[in-house]
Amino acid sequence: MNSKNMKYLFGPLNKNNPVIVQILGICSALAVTAQLKPAFVMAMSVTVVTAFSNLIMSALRKGIPDRIRIIVQLVVIAALVILVDQVLKAYVYDVSKQLSVYVGLIITNCIIMGRVEAFALGNKPWPSFLDGIGNGLGYGMILIVVAFFRELLGNGTLWGVSVIPASWYIQNGGFYANNGLMLLPPMALILVGLIIWIHRSRNKDLIEK
Amino acid sequence: MKAIRNLLDKLRPTFSEGGKLSKLHSTFDAFETFLFVPNTVTRKGAHIRDCNDIKRVMIVVVVALLPALLFGMYNVGLQHFRAVGDAVAAASVWSCFWFGFLRMLPMIVVSYVVGLGIEFAAAQIRGHEVNEGFLVSGLLIPMIMPIDVPLWMVAVATAFAVIIGKEVFGGTGMNIFNPALLARAFVFFAYTPYISGEDVWTAGLLAGEGIDGYSGATPLTQLSENVHETLAHADVQSWFLGTIPGSIGETSTVAILIGAVILLWTGVASWRTMLSVFVGGYLMGLLFNLIGANEYMTMPAWYHLILGGFAFGAVFMATDPVTSAQTNVGKCIVGFLIGALAVMIRVVNPGYPEGMMLAILFMNALAPLVDHYVVQANINRRNKRLKLAK
């Protein structure tokens, strides 16, 4: 893999992150991050959809008239999302239930349309595929970091397993209590804000004037 | 006095540029201006000669808070001894006060240590002066908490309020929301069982020290649960004096009114905001009287003004010069809506017995908008006049 392709794949993990630099896909980042498991499944689903929609649209890019490209993009993305939805229902039914409408709403996730429009339509299939994977993983990374803190501090669990000793809780004579605010979407927004804060202070060139 | 002055002068070179501890100079400045009137002189532009700076203004607010604070300490003891059935101790003012003082002191210390610690650290990192806004917030935070809230929750809430509510916006004077109320809102949403219900308002009830059948419910909780019974036994005198369960500083309307007089007499707080909050709450109460759809709505409107955190919020929270509106008309509008919303939340929303905190935070967010339209209206009016003159 040459350095350009490396940039497509790993750029979105840091300086070109879709969530914390381009501020895309915030809606689902707030909605599905109360627990680690759905956040992980969501991250995987979005990665698959971005990667393959980029690949397919890039392969088709010369044959599509410019005027109808959005419709074609939607058809491709919708087909992929339905596939993902069926797979989730078949293999991880409980998580699919938890994610509810947010799987279907991957269609409207700005990251996917954004990458297809901005990248896949002007690049060859292989770089487009890598770009899709990179952006999906960049999105998923933030989701998992946010979900880690929300589940740990809000529920005292990680991946559904309690990690905070039961004897710490006030009810059992300890001192600790779960932070209910963590389970509410506003706190996810604040956490994303804190991540952006840390990220910008480490990458000063990203700070807006 | 002289000795302190000399000590400071001797230490100054160490903290000045080139000195050994020059990195800590904003900490040094903060202590110096805390102890003495700063000797810097404004050189440019129009300015008003006045010995008051932000620190002195803040001290006035702290003094105004003292009556409510001292009464709060007394009331903490009083409620506790009533709950455990110790009539002898409850009758003694001194033992009540001493009990409350000992329970309250750790909360004040925690709030100041955490809050000032973060403020000092932030000032050092940014190379700013240390701001003094926290002198008031640090005292307000324990006063609007229930007495039995665990200390680490106070610490977490204070840290959240100072970092997320204040420092990310640029420090004192730049915050959108009142930091003290933000701390309370944080505890309210994060650790709901420790700041709502019947047992948290009286020291010792959560630990099960109360005698059988004793209820520590605040009048507002009682009203939201059983209006008829509460109104039939309405003890308006103790509601007004404040010998009722509630957040530490909020119960006594008398003590708060003394604070209000101090604030208004020194001109520190805006009388427009204060008055319009009370007017808004009262008119909303009257409106509910007119509707009269249930028994809560028929409660005399002025009960609302002496119950819960209404008076405390109106006098000490709504008048915060940073988060309230800046224009005079804006102050009236914002104040009025705070009062009206607070009463509306109390009566209409069964989930929240008290609405003052949410009403003030909500209007904090809207205050810049109100200001914008007030200023815009003024510009339009003057433009019209200009056109007529042509």
Query: Which pLDDT score is estimated for A28?
Result: 82
- Prediction pTM value: 0.87
**DSSP for residue A169:** B
Q: Is A40 exposed, middle or buried (0-12, 13-18, 19+ CB in 10 A)?
A: middle
CA A144 – CA A162 distance, rounded (Å): 17
d(CA B126, nearest CA chain A) in Å: 13
Greater confidence, B126 or A153?
Answer: A153
pLDDT in tens, A180-194: 889 888 899 999 999
Please report, for chain B, the start and end positions of each structural domain, with discontinuous segments joined by +.
Answer: 23-38+55-211, 233-379
> Smallest Cβ distance to A175: which of B152, B156, B164?
B152
Residue partners of A10: CB distance under 8 A and separation at least 6: A134
> Does residue B287 or residue B84 have the better pLDDT?
B287
Could you tell me if B127 lies within 8 Å of chain A, comparing CB atoms?
A: no
B150: closest chain A residue by CA? A175
User: Which residue of chain B comes nearest to A198, CA vs CA?
Assistant: B168
Whether B150 and A170 lie within 8 Å, measured CB to CB: yes
What lies within 8 Å, CB to CB, of A103 at 6+ separation is A42, A45, A81, A84, A85, A88, A96
Residue B41's pLDDT is 65
C-alpha–C-alpha distance, residues B184 and B313, integer Å: 12
Which pLDDT belongs to residue B51? 64
Collect all residues of chain A within an 8 Å Cβ-Cβ radius of residue B150: 170, 175, 177
Q: How many interchain CB pairs under 8 A, A with B?
A: 23
pLDDT tens column, B327-351:
999 999 999 999 999 999 998 887 8
A179 CA: distance to closest CA in chain B (Å): 5
Would you give the distance in Å from CA A127 to the centre of its chain?
Answer: 20
Between B106 and A163, where is the model more confident? B106
- B150 lies within 8 A of chain A by CB: yes
- Residue B133 pLDDT > 80: no
pLDDT band for A50, please (50, 70, 90 cuts): very high
Residue type at position B254: V
Percent of chain B with pLDDT over 70: 92
pLDDT at B354: 85
Angle between helices A36-60 and A69-91 (to 10 degrees): 140
Q: Torsion-angle region of residue B107: left (phi > 0), alpha (psi -120 to 50) or beta?
A: alpha
* CB within 8 Å of B2: residues ≥ 6 apart: none
| Domain coverage including residue A165 | 3-208
Instruction: Pick from A181, A182, A184, A197 the residue to mutate for testing the B interface (most B CBs within 10 Å).
Output: A181
Of the residues B151, B188, B189, the best mutation for testing chain A's interface (the one with the most A CB atoms within 10 Å of its CB) is: B189
Segments in chain B forming alpha helices (H): 2-15, 25-35, 54-83, 87-91, 93-126, 134-143, 151-165, 179-190, 219-225, 227-232, 236-241, 253-266, 271-291, 301-306, 310-312, 328-348, 356-389
Among all chains, which residue has been given the structure tokens 């006594």?
A: B252
Alpha-carbon distances of B57 from A141, B135, B320, B365, rounded to whole Å:
48, 10, 12, 24
Domain count, chain A: 1
Q: What does the alpha-carbon distance between residue B158 and residue B142 come to, in Å, rounded to a whole number?
A: 10
pLDDT the model gives residue B334: 95
Burial of residue B386 (CB within 10 Å: 0-12, 13-18, 19+) is exposed
Residues B140-167 have pLDDT tens digits of 999 999 998 899 999 999 999 999 988 8
pLDDT at A121 over 70: yes
Q: What is the pLDDT of residue B38?
A: 64
Q: What is the pLDDT of residue B135?
A: 85
The confidence score (pLDDT) of residue B167 equals 86
| A181 touching chain B per CB within 8 A | yes
B195 neighbors B141 (Cβ within 8 angstroms): no
What residues contact B165, with CB distance under 8 A and at least 6 apart?
A: B175, B176, B177, B179, B182, B183
Q: Cα(B36)–Cα(B367) distance, rounded to whole angstroms?
A: 35
For residues B127 and B191, the model is more confident at: B191
Read off the pLDDT of residues B54-97 as tens digits, 9 standing for 90 and up.
777 888 899 999 999 999 999 999 999 988 888 888 888 899 99
Whether B164 sits inside 8 A of A180 (CB atoms) is no
Q: How many residues are present in chain A? A: 209
Q: Which of B48-52, B204-208, B304-308 has the highest mean pLDDT?
A: B304-308
Say whether residue B190 is in contact with chain A using an 8 A CB cutoff. Answer: yes
Residue with tokens 């895309």: A24
Please report residues of A whose CB lies closer than 8 A to that of B184.
Answer: none
Rg of chain B over all Cα atoms, to the nearest angstrom:
23
Q: Where are the alpha helices (DSSP H) in chain A?
A: 3-10, 26-31, 36-60, 69-91, 93-99, 101-104, 110-118, 125-155, 185-202
Q: Considering only alpha carbons, which residue of chain A is nearest residue B151?
A: A175
Q: Cβ of B302 under 8 Å from any chain A Cβ?
A: no
How many angstroms separate the CA of residue B83 from the nearest CA in chain A? Answer: 22
Residues of A in contact with B164 (CB under 8 A): 190
* Partner residue facing B191 (CB), from A177, A184, A197: A177
The confidence score (pLDDT) of residue A204 equals 83
> Which pLDDT value is given to residue B155?
94
